[in-house]
Structure 1
Amino acid sequence: MNNDESIIIVLKPYLSIKDVSKMTINFYIPGILLLSFSASTRADTFKEIIKDLNKPYAVTEHKQTGVRCVWTKGENGYLQSENFGNEGTGLCWSKESLDDAQSRDRNGSLKWNHGKSSPKEFFTDLHNACFYGYMGRETGDWGKYLADKYAKTSGKYSGDAESIHKLGLAFDYGKASAKMPHDCYDISKKLFLDQ
């Protein structure tokens, strides 16, 4: 066997450039589909996480992947990730992600979201805001009813301008117009139903 024949025998098991380019194209299409699917599921995962979350949460972004990590505080005050699957155990609990979230929390730059209250809770808060206005006028104790009780109620809706506006209207109605506490039910119902 001469040198030319040995080279041909060695090269035959390997793929030609034409075969490699076909394979490359065949890998690009599923890769693009996989990337677009993962990008669309990322948003759905985030919405799924916060949908039923009934406690304050903060969000950071994993720098390399763009995955949003949802953080809450456990009963001992430590940050814990609410993400599930590979986002929760792999990305969001990585040293880099945890250090970033803890640093932001210590510096006060981690923004805490309180989420939307349930409709029943918001209706109750509307009624209470009106009642605090009524009681402030009746007792003259504005420190208790305005600065303490009403401020705590409206503070739950930080960042929700529409809810705060409605609470303010309820409080003003109680302060100026309510003749008895039952009047607060009527205005609360109107504000709640946007009438």
Structure 2
Amino acid sequence: MLTLLLTGFLTFTRPQDLRQEQGLAGQLIANQLAPATEYGVINGKLDTLEIPLPFRPCSTQAPDRDGQPLTGGNGQAVLLVEDNPVKQTVTEAMLRSLGYPVSLAGDGQQAVQNCSRHDYAAILMDCRLPLMDGYEATRQIRQLQQCQQVPIIALTANALQGDREACLEAGMNDYLAKPFKRADLQRILLRWLPARP
């Protein structure tokens, strides 16, 4: 179930308007609203909208660009570090549908604390975080004995070459630009976490 916190800043008149938005959340909301109402107007004070998400593990996997089948996570735990609640919910749902158990952290300090207490197969790290940004969090995580070899994948809206270099210099292994699709997320995780037999 996806729960959205809606304020007067979000206004749309038709489900088709949401479909034009990039990203998975707009598509899902539009698809859920379309059968229920011809017009959906959200404005005024604070409201919530709950929408069931149709995520489930796939029994068949689409092939990747090389024609090889994409496989699931097979229970390899992933730490998702993301401060935006909607992006956190959507990415968590993607990961779970791919077979990855997910732990969540909303800021860099919490990510470091989680890594000191638990073992993860991979870490998805947003770069812009409150309290401690993703770069500093990565540097501190790399100082933990058990996390020196854990793949850390940067999640950022900045797609400039300099940003990629900053991620790698901080100790991250790879880079995934937002917005990304489920197949993009799956592909990059399989690059760093080969499927278990």
Q: Do these two structures clear the TM 0.5 threshold for a shared fold by scoring above it? A: no
Higher relative contact order (CA 8 A, sep 6+): 2
Q: Is the radius of gyration larger for structure 1 or structure 2?
A: 1
Which structure carries more strand by proportion? 2
TM-score (normalised: structure 2):
0.22
TM-score (normalised: structure 1):
0.22
Which structure carries more helix by proportion? 1
